[in-house]
Structure 1
Amino acid sequence: MEAVGLALITIILAYLLGSLNGAYYMMKWKHGIDIRTTGSGNAGATNAGRAMGKQGFFWVLVFDIAKGMLAVVLIKWSGQTEIIAGFSVIAAVLGHIFPIQLRFKGGKGIAVSLGALVIFSYQATLLLIAAFLVIYLFVKKFSISGLLAYASTAMLLPFLRLDMTTIAVYVVVTVLILAAHHTHLKAAWSYLLLRNER
């Protein structure tokens, strides 16, 4: 029972770390407004860049990656199993997308997931980063490149011969990321349909 209790506590801690929103805090500190009321309405690094420039994007990106890394490092440091570490990755991403202190309206989860996943499985994350860089060279769009990288990595992971826990965590995180970006996906799909009709 003690092990179960410790596992639940660490997963909850990962969620709470994920829910700390750098874009919201920085925008409040610098301009005194809620970042979700400006730009795309997203409390993440991309919208922070729109509202506060390159420095805003950079520091929010660093903050979100760091909190994802910390969430998993703490679980590994406490001696929890890989399965619990996997749940902590998912919890951190859920915390960023649905932060309790912001009434469950946060960011899209790419940066925090990248930080959490690089600690959870650096091999798979290197594949993710490589896929992103290759796709970005052609697409030149940060968000769409990230989405395509996650989707392609989830399909390529079995070829790395990783354990099923790692693959399952990556697939779940990919589903969460794609769901959080549903408006981007709809817009991209509509654009493709319009191009094909011409």
Structure 2
Amino acid sequence: MIQWLLVPGAYLFGSVSSAIIVCRLMGLEDPREQGSGNPGATNVMRIGGKKAAAITLLGDALKGLVPVLVAKAMNVDSLLLSCVVFAAFLGHLYPLFFGFKGGKGVATSFGVTLGVTWLLGIVVSATWFIVYKVGGISSLAALVAATLTPLYVFLIVGDVNLVVTFVLISIILLWRHKSNIQRLLVGEER
């Protein structure tokens, strides 16, 4: 039963906002109050450039990766692993430490996929990269990768609990990107 403490632990770990911390450490404006208002790597790039964005992206991915690796090291069952995956992701979206105003979840969702299995992480990132190279729009690449992730989980991992978890994550990612989707539909997305 002690292993179930991994779930709130994953949420709390996910609640550490890389964007806000990076901006504070680098003397930049609060990303929740600048640019798009989203505390994520894309907005941090607008505010502070590529270095700040890269650090934020790495931090957000690690928030998903580390809890999943810890759970796997403890040899948890697939239900508990799925709960850890979802808790880390939700922590990023609704961070306890930052007024429940988090990012959109793309980098953290990548981190959890990489934690589940490196092959899954590589396939998801390759999908993002190919779509980005063809279309040139980061949000479109993220939406396509998010939509295909449950299929990849089914094909690569084959675990029902994880498939359901990634279906939920994909739905939430699409919902969190609804303004991007609207701009894509009218051809105004940058």
- What is the TM-score with the length of structure 1 in the denominator? 0.86
| Matched length | 188
Aligned partner of 1:15 among 11, 19, 31: 11
Q: Which moved more, 1:131-140 or 1:117-126?
A: 117-126
Q: Is the 8 A contact 1:86 1:120 kept in 2?
A: no
Find the counterpart in structure 2 of residue 163 from structure 1: 159
Give the superposition deviation at 1:30: 2.3
Q: Is the 8 A contact 1:121 1:166 kept in 2?
A: no
1:133 and 2:120 are equivalent in the alignment: no
Cα distance in 2 for partners of 1:32, 1:130 equals 31
Structure 2 residue matching 1:191: 3-state secondary structure: coil
Runs (5+) with no aligned partner, structure 1: 193-198
1:110-189 matches, cutoff 5 A: 110-155=106-151, 157-160=153-156, 162-189=158-185
- Structure with bigger helix share is 1
Regions of 4+ moved over 6 Å: none
* Counterpart AA for 1:177: L
* Counterpart AA for 1:167: V
* Counterpart AA for 1:139: G
* Counterpart AA for 1:93: F
Select the structure of larger CA radius of gyration: 1
Aligned partner of 1:70 among 59, 63, 66: 66
Distance 1:116 1:99, change over 3 A: same
Cα distance in 2 for partners of 1:28, 1:125 equals 30
Find the counterpart in structure 2 of residue 6 from structure 1: 3
- What is the TM-score with the length of structure 2 in the denominator? 0.90
Cα distance in 2 for partners of 1:23, 1:156 equals 29
Identity %: 27
